[in-house]
Amino acid sequence: MTFSIHGLPVARGIAIGRAVLVASSRADVAHYFIEPASVEAEIERVRAGRNAVVDEIHRLQHSVSQMGPKEAPHELTALLDVHLMLLQDEMLISGVKHWITDRLYNAEWALTTQLEVIARQFDEMEDEYLRERKADLEQVVERILRYMKGVALPITPPTTPHRKTQQDLLLDDTVDVPLVLIAHDLSPADMLQFKQSVFAGFVTDVGGKTSHTAIVARSLDIPAVVGARSASQLVRQDDWVIIDGDAGLMIVDPSAIILAEYGFRQRQGQLERERLTRLRHTPAITMDGQKVELLANIEMPEDAAGAITAGAVGVGLFRSEFLFMGRQGNLPGEEEQFQAYKRAVEGMQGLPVTIRTVDIGADKPLDKSQKDGTSLNPSLGLRAIRWSLNDPAMFLTQLRAILRAAAYGQVNLLIPMLAHASEIRQTLSLIDFARAELDNRGVPYGPVKLGAMIEIPAAALTLKLFLKNFDFLSIGTNDLIQYTLAIDRADEAVAHLYDPLHPAVLRLVADTIAECNAQGKGVSVCGEMAGDASHTRLLLGLGLRSFSMHPAQILAVKQEVLRSDTSRLQPWAQKVIESDDPASVLNA
Ligand code: PEP
Ligand code: MG
């Protein structure tokens, strides 16, 4: 039966494929595709894990049999029997084999996927006793996973794209069809892992439009919807789904007519993209001759290639925290970071690279399992520069690595989330200290321009302090909106109130741009607002000439730039920001 689920549009386009459900309860489990040659080895890993648990239960059964009825109640013996039975269950074993062999899922993913399939069947059982056995099954699978950690083999995920045309898709209903990922939640680190994989689209139950998960999804340039509430409950493994990333909609089990309609729209979208690629080498200059800088936001050094392909004239935001995530707390050392930054700098072929120091915290935990449950309010807690200043040794390591990479090209050093004069002072003296350390060691390093993110209203309201201490400013609208409007950017429940066009937000953005321009300091916007082509004219009218965004958004924004006349936009933009209802003036 066809039904649709509404969420928030995150990344444009249409994806059609089969649903792959990621078990959120096992968020710590790696999900990647294996090489076909590794299928047997992967099945063996599960088998070894299962056998280890079977042995463990046998040992337990043996010791229980030595005890008297008081220490070993009947329930315990019965429970061990149930666990053994579940471990030997054909459905578990054959299902896991199916996911590994036919879908090339890694062993842990196959196991948790099959757990999800069986758990749903347990949920539907009439008999309460049987229904409750689901918890036993979960325990058994947890144990296998624990054993498997010890026998895990490092396998690199393949990078072959799986995308197929609609025509192929209708003809071929076997294994090689596009896959769309459905999850309750995905951490930014999860998303990074999926970056190398083959999904044609994403849907998550939770998240706002500018949550970091959504940002990474957008950087993958594939259709995505977040905040789809109960999508992961309603969709079943392998269901056919359409993701409409423009409307923020998912259609499950679509009819042939709907499929044909969306197939048509998918092709139209592809044609539009192809048309835009013609602008790749066109300089971004407005009709009245204003030069505009279109920069790329990247998460990993390897993204530099995509930035060059998209025609970016530099990197305006390298979110360095992605180098720190998903490493079980083993943070990258100076050499590893230096190599990564150097790769990004060299990848940009002489164009400038703005490296932002680590912004860990809030919805970007170091590890998925370390979701910040300890802070009362993680967005207001030890995040970004606060986290760095709290661990000067870690911060100095990063600063040295960035300064060293600056010997290989033009590097700008950007500091996130500053608000206080004391934070600025500490940061600047740590940068001096890092230079002195490199001098003492005789290690070469290069000059950097120093920048501060304006993403807390307090910073936007004390610009003088920032302009005195920094060479350039970069407006992080994602957080500026979050902190101005008191809307958690990752919370879909308040996503309707997250408004880049709120007069208070526009006032802070406009004043920051105007003040920087007046003082001849560089200013750019690197939040999601910069990559939204519907805001390009407004930002140009406010005097912005430097935009940083996902590479995939550059050409659409460039098209707007080429069609704009800033001399006409300027008075109009003033009207927009002075209005009580800027959206209505903008869209008039
Ligand atoms: C922002 O806040 O706008 C920004 C660019 O930083 P991040 O999205 O990484 O918080
Ligand atoms: Mg930010």
Range(s) of the chain covered by CATH 3.20.20.60 = 283-586
Out of 184, 212, 535, 550, the active site residue is: 212
- Give the model's confidence band at 219: pLDDT under 50 very low, under 70 low, under 90 confident, else very high: confident
Most confident of 138-142, 184-188, 422-426: 422-426
pLDDT digits (tens, 9 = 90+) for 265-282: 999 999 998 999 999 999
Q: Which ligand number lies closest to the CA of residue 477? A: 1
Mean predicted confidence (pLDDT) in 552-561: 96
Q: In this structure, which residue's CA is closest to atom 9 in ligand 1?
A: 319
Is 455 touching ligand 1 by the criterion CB < 6 Å? yes
Res 467: pLDDT: 98
Q: How is residue 417 annotated by DSSP?
A: S
Res 370: pLDDT: 55
Measure CA of the first residue to CA of the last residue in the chain; give whole Å. 41
- The rounded distance, in Å, linking the Cα atoms of 438 and 430 is 12
Range(s) of the chain covered by CATH 1.10.274.10 = 36-149
Top-level class of domain 36-149: mainly alpha
Cα dihedral 560/562/567/573 (nearest 10)? 10
Q: Report which ligand 1 atom has the smallest distance to the Cα of 416.
A: 6
- Give the model's confidence band at 165: pLDDT under 50 very low, under 70 low, under 90 confident, else very high: very low
3-state secondary structure 144-188: HHHHHHHCCCCCCCCCCCCCCCHHHHHHCCCCCCCEEEEECCCCH
Please state, in angstroms and as integers, the Cα–Cα distance from residue 547 to each residue in 272, 291, 307, 331, 418, following that order.
22, 12, 13, 31, 21
Contact between 489 and 211 (Cβ < 8 Å)? yes
Q: Retrieve residue 460's tokens.
A: 């936007």
Res 162: pLDDT: 35
**Between 21 and 482, the higher pLDDT residue:** 482
- The rounded distance, in Å, linking the Cα atoms of 562 and 309 is 19
- The rounded distance, in Å, linking the Cα atoms of 549 and 354 is 13
Query: Which of 414, 360, 422 lies closest to 387, judged by CA?
Result: 360
pLDDT at 159 over 90: no
**Between 219 and 535, the higher pLDDT residue:** 535
- Nearby residues for ligand 2 (ion, Cβ within 5 Å): 455, 476, 479
Mean predicted confidence (pLDDT) in 216-231: 87
- Which of 320, 478, 498, when mutated, tests ligand 1's pocket best, judged by the most ligand atoms within 8 Å of its CB? 478
- Give the model's confidence band at 174: pLDDT under 50 very low, under 70 low, under 90 confident, else very high: very low
Res 89: pLDDT: 85
pLDDT at 373 over 60: no
Mean predicted confidence (pLDDT) in 7-12: 90
Over its C-alpha atoms, the chain yields an Rg (Å, rounded) of 26
Query: Which of 26, 34, 24 lies closest to 143, judged by CA?
Result: 26
Q: Report which ligand 1 atom has the smallest distance to the Cα of 384.
A: 10
Q: How is residue 28 annotated by DSSP?
A: T
Query: Which of 400, 409, 412, 413 lies closest to 342, judged by CA?
Result: 409
- The rounded distance, in Å, linking the Cα atoms of 290 and 284 is 8
3-state DSSP: the chain helix, strand, coil percent, rounded to 5? Answer: 55, 15, 30
Measured at the CA of 97, the angle between CA 36 and CA 16, to 5 degrees, comes to 70
**Number of helices and strands in the chain (H, E):** 23, 16
Q: What fold characterizes domain 3-23+156-254?
A: Glucose Oxidase; domain 1 (3.50.30)
Tell me the CB-side half-sphere exposure of residue 238, using CA atoms within 13 A. Answer: 13
pLDDT digits (tens, 9 = 90+) for 465-487: 999 999 999 999 999 999 999 99
pLDDT at 333 over 90: yes
- Give the model's confidence band at 170: pLDDT under 50 very low, under 70 low, under 90 confident, else very high: very low
Out of 31, 83, 526, 550, the active site residue is: 526
**Between 216 and 391, the higher pLDDT residue:** 391
Mean predicted confidence (pLDDT) in 430-435: 98
Res 72: pLDDT: 56
Mean predicted confidence (pLDDT) in 164-176: 42
The proportion of the chain whose per-residue pLDDT surpasses 90, expressed as a percent, equals: 63
- The rounded distance, in Å, linking the Cα atoms of 224 and 181 is 9
Is 320 touching ligand 1 by the criterion CB < 6 Å? no
Mean predicted confidence (pLDDT) in 181-198: 74
Most confident of 28-42, 52-66, 356-370, 401-415: 401-415
pLDDT digits (tens, 9 = 90+) for 439-474: 999 999 999 999 999 999 999 999 999 999 999 999
pLDDT at 166 over 60: no
Contact between 523 and 472 (Cβ < 8 Å)? yes
Res 374: pLDDT: 60
pLDDT at 492 over 50: yes
Q: In this structure, which residue's CA is closest to atom 6 in ligand 1?
A: 476
Lateral strand order in the sheet of 240-244: 3-6, 249-252, 240-244, 14-22, 179-183, 199-204, 224-226, 8-11
Is 531 touching ligand 1 by the criterion CB < 6 Å? no
**Model-level pTM?**
0.78
**Between 67 and 404, the higher pLDDT residue:** 404
Interaxial angle between packed helices 107-123 and 39-66, expressed in degrees from 0 to 180 and rounded to the nearest 10:
60
Task: Out of 190-204, 414-428, 500-514, 539-553, pick the least confident.
Answer: 190-204
List, in order, residues 6 or more apart from 384 with CB less than 8 Å away.
Answer: 358, 359, 360, 361, 416, 417
Res 445: pLDDT: 98
Q: Report which ligand 1 atom has the smallest distance to the Cα of 529.
A: 3
pLDDT at 158 over 50: no
Res 1: pLDDT: 85
Is 361 touching ligand 1 by the criterion CB < 6 Å? no
Length of the chain: 588
Res 209: pLDDT: 84
Res 74: pLDDT: 66
- Let me know if 212 is a catalytic residue: yes
Mean predicted confidence (pLDDT) in 285-304: 97
Contact between 232 and 24 (Cβ < 8 Å)? yes
Res 425: pLDDT: 98
Res 197: pLDDT: 66
CATH number of 283-586: 3.20.20.60
Largest Cα–Cα distance in the chain?
A: 92
- Cα 259 to its chain centre, rounded Å, is 28
What's the 478 CA to ligand 2 centre distance in angstroms?
6
Dihedral pair phi/psi, residue 412, rounded to 5° = -110, 140
- Let me know if 6 is a catalytic residue: no
Is 363 touching ligand 1 by the criterion CB < 6 Å? no
Query: Which of 175, 169, 355 lies closest to 262, judged by CA?
Result: 169
pLDDT digits (tens, 9 = 90+) for 31-81: 788 899 999 999 999 999 899 888 888 887 777 777 666 555 566 677 778
Tell me the CB-side half-sphere exposure of residue 52, using CA atoms within 13 A. Answer: 17
14 strand-pairing partners: 244
Which residue shows structure tokens 């950007």? 414
- The rounded distance, in Å, linking the Cα atoms of 539 and 534 is 10
Res 176: pLDDT: 62
Checking DSSP bridges between strand 14-22 and strand 240-244, what pairing results, if any?
A: antiparallel
Range(s) of the chain covered by CATH 3.50.30.10 = 3-23+156-254
Q: Retrieve residue 436's tokens.
A: 């002195």
179 strand-pairing partners: 18, 199
Q: In this structure, which residue's CA is closest to atom 8 in ligand 1?
A: 478
pLDDT at 538 over 90: yes
